Protein backbone atom coordinates (compact mmCIF):
# COMPACT_ATOMS: atom_id res chain seq x y z
CA UNK A 1 0.00 0.00 0.00
CA UNK A 2 1.30 3.44 -0.91
CA UNK A 3 1.64 6.27 1.56
CA UNK A 4 -1.57 8.22 2.34
CA UNK A 5 -1.79 11.65 0.68
CA UNK A 6 -3.73 14.48 2.32
CA UNK A 7 -4.99 16.78 -0.42
CA UNK A 8 -4.74 20.52 0.13
CA UNK A 9 -6.77 23.41 -1.20
CA UNK A 10 -9.92 23.10 -3.27
CA UNK A 11 -10.75 21.53 -6.62
CA UNK A 12 -10.90 24.34 -9.16
CA UNK A 13 -14.00 25.13 -11.16
CA UNK A 14 -11.77 26.55 -13.88
CA UNK A 15 -8.63 24.73 -15.00
CA UNK A 16 -5.12 26.05 -15.32
CA UNK A 17 -3.72 25.43 -18.79
CA UNK A 18 -0.04 24.52 -19.02
CA UNK A 19 0.97 25.66 -22.49
CA UNK A 20 4.22 23.71 -22.65
CA UNK A 21 2.37 20.46 -21.98
CA UNK A 22 -0.94 21.22 -23.64
CA UNK A 23 -2.69 20.02 -20.48
CA UNK A 24 -5.34 21.37 -18.11
CA UNK A 25 -5.15 20.81 -14.35
CA UNK A 26 -7.96 21.31 -11.84
CA UNK A 27 -6.18 20.92 -8.51
CA UNK A 28 -2.78 21.61 -7.01
CA UNK A 29 -1.91 17.90 -6.81
CA UNK A 30 -2.38 17.52 -10.57
CA UNK A 31 -0.11 20.51 -11.07
CA UNK A 32 2.59 18.98 -8.85
CA UNK A 33 2.36 15.64 -10.64
CA UNK A 34 2.85 17.23 -14.05
CA UNK A 35 5.66 19.49 -12.83
CA UNK A 36 7.57 16.51 -11.46
CA UNK A 37 6.98 14.39 -14.57
CA UNK A 38 8.07 17.23 -16.87
CA UNK A 39 10.73 19.00 -14.84
CA UNK A 40 12.93 19.61 -17.89
CA UNK A 41 10.22 21.85 -19.34
CA UNK A 42 10.02 24.22 -16.39
CA UNK A 43 11.52 27.68 -16.67
CA UNK A 44 10.91 31.25 -15.50
CA UNK A 45 7.79 31.46 -17.68
CA UNK A 46 6.28 28.52 -15.79
CA UNK A 47 5.93 30.67 -12.65
CA UNK A 48 3.93 33.78 -13.51
CA UNK A 49 0.96 35.79 -12.33
CA UNK A 50 -1.53 33.59 -14.13
CA UNK A 51 -0.37 30.54 -12.18
CA UNK A 52 -0.26 32.39 -8.87
CA UNK A 53 -3.75 33.81 -9.39
CA UNK A 54 -5.10 30.35 -10.21
CA UNK A 55 -3.50 28.88 -7.07
CA UNK A 56 -5.12 31.59 -4.94
CA UNK A 57 -8.52 31.77 -6.64
CA UNK A 58 -9.25 28.23 -7.77
CA UNK A 59 -7.28 26.23 -5.20
CA UNK A 60 -7.90 28.60 -2.25
CA UNK A 61 -4.20 28.57 -1.40
CA UNK A 62 -3.61 32.29 -0.85
CA UNK A 63 -0.59 31.81 1.41
CA UNK A 64 1.21 29.63 -1.13
CA UNK A 65 0.43 32.07 -3.93
CA UNK A 66 1.73 35.00 -1.85
CA UNK A 67 4.93 33.13 -0.96
CA UNK A 68 5.58 32.36 -4.62
CA UNK A 69 4.92 35.97 -5.66
CA UNK A 70 7.37 37.26 -3.05
CA UNK A 71 10.00 34.75 -4.15
CA UNK A 72 9.65 35.76 -7.77
CA UNK A 73 9.90 39.44 -6.78
CA UNK A 74 13.20 38.60 -5.04
CA UNK A 75 14.28 36.88 -8.26
CA UNK A 76 14.56 33.47 -6.63
CA UNK A 77 15.57 30.61 -8.89
CA UNK A 78 13.15 28.34 -10.69
CA UNK A 79 14.49 25.48 -8.56
CA UNK A 80 13.58 27.39 -5.39
CA UNK A 81 10.10 28.25 -6.68
CA UNK A 82 9.38 24.66 -7.71
CA UNK A 83 10.77 23.30 -4.42
CA UNK A 84 8.59 25.66 -2.37
CA UNK A 85 5.48 24.69 -4.30
CA UNK A 86 6.13 20.96 -4.05
CA UNK A 87 7.13 21.09 -0.38
CA UNK A 88 4.01 23.05 0.55
CA UNK A 89 1.62 20.66 -1.18
CA UNK A 90 3.31 17.50 0.06
CA UNK A 91 2.05 15.37 -2.82
CA UNK A 92 5.47 14.20 -3.97
CA UNK A 93 8.21 12.36 -2.11
CA UNK A 94 11.34 14.12 -0.93
CA UNK A 95 13.37 12.14 -3.46
CA UNK A 96 11.14 13.38 -6.29
CA UNK A 97 11.36 16.97 -5.09
CA UNK A 98 15.16 16.76 -4.75
CA UNK A 99 15.39 15.39 -8.29
CA UNK A 100 13.28 18.23 -9.70
CA UNK A 101 15.39 20.84 -7.93
CA UNK A 102 18.59 19.19 -9.17
CA UNK A 103 17.33 19.21 -12.76
CA UNK A 104 16.34 22.87 -12.54
CA UNK A 105 19.65 23.90 -10.94
CA UNK A 106 21.50 22.13 -13.73
CA UNK A 107 19.33 23.83 -16.34
CA UNK A 108 20.03 27.22 -14.78
CA UNK A 109 23.69 26.88 -15.74
CA UNK A 110 22.88 26.28 -19.41
CA UNK A 111 22.41 28.79 -22.17
CA UNK A 112 19.13 28.83 -24.09
CA UNK A 113 20.48 26.54 -26.80
CA UNK A 114 21.63 23.90 -24.29
CA UNK A 115 18.31 24.09 -22.45
CA UNK A 116 16.38 23.49 -25.65
CA UNK A 117 18.59 20.54 -26.55
CA UNK A 118 18.16 18.95 -23.12
CA UNK A 119 14.44 19.63 -23.29
CA UNK A 120 14.17 18.03 -26.73
CA UNK A 121 16.08 14.93 -25.61
CA UNK A 122 13.85 14.65 -22.53
CA UNK A 123 10.70 14.92 -24.64
CA UNK A 124 11.95 12.29 -27.07
CA UNK A 125 12.80 9.83 -24.28
CA UNK A 126 9.31 10.27 -22.87
CA UNK A 127 7.47 9.79 -26.16
CA UNK A 128 6.41 13.43 -26.55
CA UNK A 129 7.35 13.43 -30.20
CA UNK A 130 5.40 16.44 -31.42
CA UNK A 131 7.03 18.73 -28.88
CA UNK A 132 10.44 17.13 -29.39
CA UNK A 133 10.25 17.73 -33.15
CA UNK A 134 9.47 21.40 -32.55
CA UNK A 135 12.46 21.83 -30.25
CA UNK A 136 14.84 19.98 -32.59
CA UNK A 137 13.64 21.95 -35.61
CA UNK A 138 14.13 25.20 -33.73
CA UNK A 139 17.72 24.18 -32.98
CA UNK A 140 18.40 23.21 -36.60
CA UNK A 141 16.85 26.33 -38.08
CA UNK A 142 18.14 28.99 -35.70
CA UNK A 143 21.85 28.34 -35.64
CA UNK A 144 23.50 28.45 -39.07
CA UNK A 145 26.85 27.57 -37.49
CA UNK A 146 25.64 24.46 -35.72
CA UNK A 147 28.34 21.83 -35.22
CA UNK A 148 28.10 18.98 -37.76
CA UNK A 149 28.14 16.31 -35.06
CA UNK A 150 25.39 18.04 -33.12
CA UNK A 151 23.34 18.38 -36.31
CA UNK A 152 23.90 14.67 -36.96
CA UNK A 153 22.76 13.80 -33.44
CA UNK A 154 19.55 15.79 -33.85
CA UNK A 155 18.84 14.30 -37.27
CA UNK A 156 19.48 10.80 -35.91
CA UNK A 157 17.01 11.38 -33.08
CA UNK A 158 14.42 12.67 -35.53
CA UNK A 159 14.95 9.51 -37.55
CA UNK A 160 14.32 7.42 -34.45
CA UNK A 161 11.05 9.23 -33.77
CA UNK A 162 9.86 8.86 -37.36
CA UNK A 163 10.67 5.15 -37.26
CA UNK A 164 8.73 4.71 -34.02
CA UNK A 165 5.78 6.35 -35.74
CA UNK A 166 6.16 3.91 -38.67
CA UNK A 167 7.06 6.76 -41.04
CA UNK A 168 9.96 4.80 -42.48
CA UNK A 169 10.54 6.89 -45.60
CA UNK A 170 11.03 10.00 -43.47
CA UNK A 171 13.19 8.00 -41.09
CA UNK A 172 15.43 6.93 -44.00
CA UNK A 173 15.97 10.54 -45.00
CA UNK A 174 16.90 11.69 -41.49
CA UNK A 175 19.21 8.74 -40.79
CA UNK A 176 21.03 9.31 -44.08
CA UNK A 177 21.41 13.02 -43.36
CA UNK A 178 22.73 12.14 -39.90
CA UNK A 179 25.25 9.75 -41.44
CA UNK A 180 26.39 12.30 -44.02
CA UNK A 181 26.94 14.94 -41.35
CA UNK A 182 28.39 12.76 -38.58
CA UNK A 183 29.72 9.65 -40.36
CA UNK A 184 28.43 7.60 -37.44
CA UNK A 185 28.10 3.93 -38.38
CA UNK A 186 25.02 3.56 -36.16
CA UNK A 187 23.12 6.13 -38.23
CA UNK A 188 23.86 4.11 -41.36
CA UNK A 189 22.69 0.89 -39.70
CA UNK A 190 19.43 2.60 -38.74
CA UNK A 191 19.09 3.96 -42.27
CA UNK A 192 19.25 0.39 -43.61
CA UNK A 193 16.77 -0.75 -40.96
CA UNK A 194 14.28 1.89 -42.12
CA UNK A 195 14.78 0.80 -45.73
CA UNK A 196 14.29 -2.83 -44.72
CA UNK A 197 11.05 -2.03 -42.92
CA UNK A 198 9.68 -0.08 -45.88
CA UNK A 199 10.55 -2.50 -48.69
CA UNK A 200 9.46 -6.05 -49.32
CA UNK A 201 12.10 -8.74 -48.70
CA UNK A 202 12.67 -9.12 -52.45
CA UNK A 203 13.08 -5.40 -53.02
CA UNK A 204 15.37 -5.05 -50.01
CA UNK A 205 17.69 -7.79 -51.28
CA UNK A 206 17.77 -6.03 -54.66
CA UNK A 207 18.56 -2.75 -52.92
CA UNK A 208 21.52 -4.30 -51.08
CA UNK A 209 22.74 -5.94 -54.29
CA UNK A 210 22.76 -2.55 -56.00
CA UNK A 211 24.62 -0.88 -53.12
CA UNK A 212 27.94 -2.61 -52.50
CA UNK A 213 28.80 -0.23 -49.63
CA UNK A 214 25.71 -1.44 -47.78
CA UNK A 215 26.63 -5.14 -47.79
CA UNK A 216 28.76 -5.31 -44.61
CA UNK A 217 26.34 -3.10 -42.70
CA UNK A 218 23.43 -5.25 -43.86
CA UNK A 219 25.07 -8.33 -42.32
CA UNK A 220 25.28 -6.54 -38.98
CA UNK A 221 21.66 -5.44 -39.30
CA UNK A 222 20.50 -8.99 -40.03
CA UNK A 223 22.34 -10.20 -36.93
CA UNK A 224 20.49 -7.63 -34.86
CA UNK A 225 17.18 -8.54 -36.49
CA UNK A 226 17.72 -12.22 -35.69
CA UNK A 227 18.54 -11.37 -32.07
CA UNK A 228 15.39 -9.25 -31.86
CA UNK A 229 13.34 -12.10 -33.32
CA UNK A 230 14.76 -14.52 -30.75
CA UNK A 231 13.92 -12.04 -27.99
CA UNK A 232 10.38 -11.68 -29.31
CA UNK A 233 9.94 -15.46 -29.53
CA UNK A 234 10.51 -15.67 -25.78
CA UNK A 235 8.24 -12.71 -24.97
CA UNK A 236 4.78 -12.60 -23.42
CA UNK A 237 3.43 -11.06 -26.64
CA UNK A 238 4.54 -14.07 -28.67
CA UNK A 239 3.06 -16.42 -26.10
CA UNK A 240 -0.28 -14.54 -26.23
CA UNK A 241 -0.46 -14.83 -30.02
CA UNK A 242 0.39 -18.53 -29.79
CA UNK A 243 -2.45 -19.02 -27.31
CA UNK A 244 -4.86 -17.27 -29.67
CA UNK A 245 -3.83 -19.54 -32.53
CA UNK A 246 -4.36 -22.65 -30.37
CA UNK A 247 -7.82 -21.51 -29.27
CA UNK A 248 -8.86 -20.98 -32.89
CA UNK A 249 -7.43 -24.30 -34.06
CA UNK A 250 -9.25 -26.14 -31.28
CA UNK A 251 -12.53 -24.35 -31.99
CA UNK A 252 -12.65 -22.63 -28.58
CA UNK A 253 -14.20 -19.52 -30.06
CA UNK A 254 -15.31 -17.91 -26.79
CA UNK A 255 -11.77 -18.06 -25.42
CA UNK A 256 -10.42 -17.04 -28.83
CA UNK A 257 -12.47 -13.84 -29.09
CA UNK A 258 -11.87 -12.98 -25.44
CA UNK A 259 -8.08 -13.26 -25.86
CA UNK A 260 -8.17 -11.34 -29.15
CA UNK A 261 -10.11 -8.57 -27.42
CA UNK A 262 -7.62 -8.38 -24.54
CA UNK A 263 -4.64 -8.30 -26.89
CA UNK A 264 -6.20 -5.74 -29.23
CA UNK A 265 -7.12 -3.44 -26.36
CA UNK A 266 -3.57 -3.60 -25.01
CA UNK A 267 -2.15 -2.73 -28.43
CA UNK A 268 -4.59 0.17 -28.80
CA UNK A 269 -3.55 1.64 -25.47
CA UNK A 270 0.13 1.24 -26.30
CA UNK A 271 -0.31 2.86 -29.71
CA UNK A 272 -2.37 5.74 -28.34
CA UNK A 273 0.31 6.44 -25.75
CA UNK A 274 2.93 6.37 -28.49
CA UNK A 275 1.23 8.92 -30.72
CA UNK A 276 -0.71 10.99 -28.19
CA UNK A 277 1.18 14.02 -29.49
CA UNK A 278 0.43 14.13 -33.20
CA UNK A 279 3.11 15.27 -35.54
CA UNK A 280 2.17 17.47 -38.41
CA UNK A 281 2.95 16.46 -41.95
CA UNK A 282 6.16 17.87 -43.34
Judge whether residue 48 has pLDDT over 70.
yes
Pick from 28-32, 102-106, 173-177, 263-267: least confident: 263-267
**Cα–Cα distance between 262 and 250 in angstroms, integer?**
19
Q: Identify the residue with better confidence: 232 or 164.
A: 164
Comparing C-alpha atoms, which of 5, 9, 41 is closest to residue 28? 9
Per-residue confidence (pLDDT) for residue 266, from 0 to 100: 72
Residue 120, classified by CB atoms within 10 Å of its CB into exposed (0-12), middle (13-18) or buried (19+), is: buried
3 state DSSP class of 24: strand
Contact (Cβ atoms closer than 8 angstroms) between residue 101 and residue 82: yes
Judge whether residue 199 has pLDDT over 90.
yes
Query: What are 95-114's pLDDT values in tens digits?
Result: 999 999 998 998 887 777 88
pLDDT band at 273; cut points 50, 70, 90: low
Contact (Cβ atoms closer than 8 angstroms) between residue 134 and residue 62: no
Query: What are 182-194's pLDDT values in tens digits?
Result: 999 999 999 999 9
Q: Identify the residue with better confidence: 5 or 204.
A: 204
Per-residue confidence (pLDDT) for residue 278, from 0 to 100: 42
Per-residue confidence (pLDDT) for residue 192, from 0 to 100: 95
Mean pLDDT taken over the chain: 85
Judge whether residue 227 has pLDDT over 90.
no
Per-residue confidence (pLDDT) for residue 279, from 0 to 100: 40
**Cα–Cα distance between 14 and 272 in angstroms, integer?**
27
> pLDDT > 70: what percent of the chain?
86
Contact (Cβ atoms closer than 8 angstroms) between residue 177 and residue 158: no
pLDDT band at 84; cut points 50, 70, 90: very high
**One-character DSSP codes across 247-282:** HHHTT-HHHHHHHHHHHHHHHHHHHHHHTSS-----
Contact (Cβ atoms closer than 8 angstroms) between residue 57 and residue 9: no
Contact (Cβ atoms closer than 8 angstroms) between residue 65 and residue 53: yes
Handedness of CA 138, 124, 154, 104 (dihedral sign): positive
Amino acid sequence: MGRPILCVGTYGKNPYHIDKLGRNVYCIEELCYLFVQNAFLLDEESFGDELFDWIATECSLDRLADDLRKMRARKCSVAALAGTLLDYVGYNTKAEIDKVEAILRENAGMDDYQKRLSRADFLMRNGRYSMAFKEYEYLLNNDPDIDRKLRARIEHNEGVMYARLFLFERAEKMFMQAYEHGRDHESYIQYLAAVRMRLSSKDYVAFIADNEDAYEASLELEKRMNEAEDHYSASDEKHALGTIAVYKAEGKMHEYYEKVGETTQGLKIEYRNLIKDKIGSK
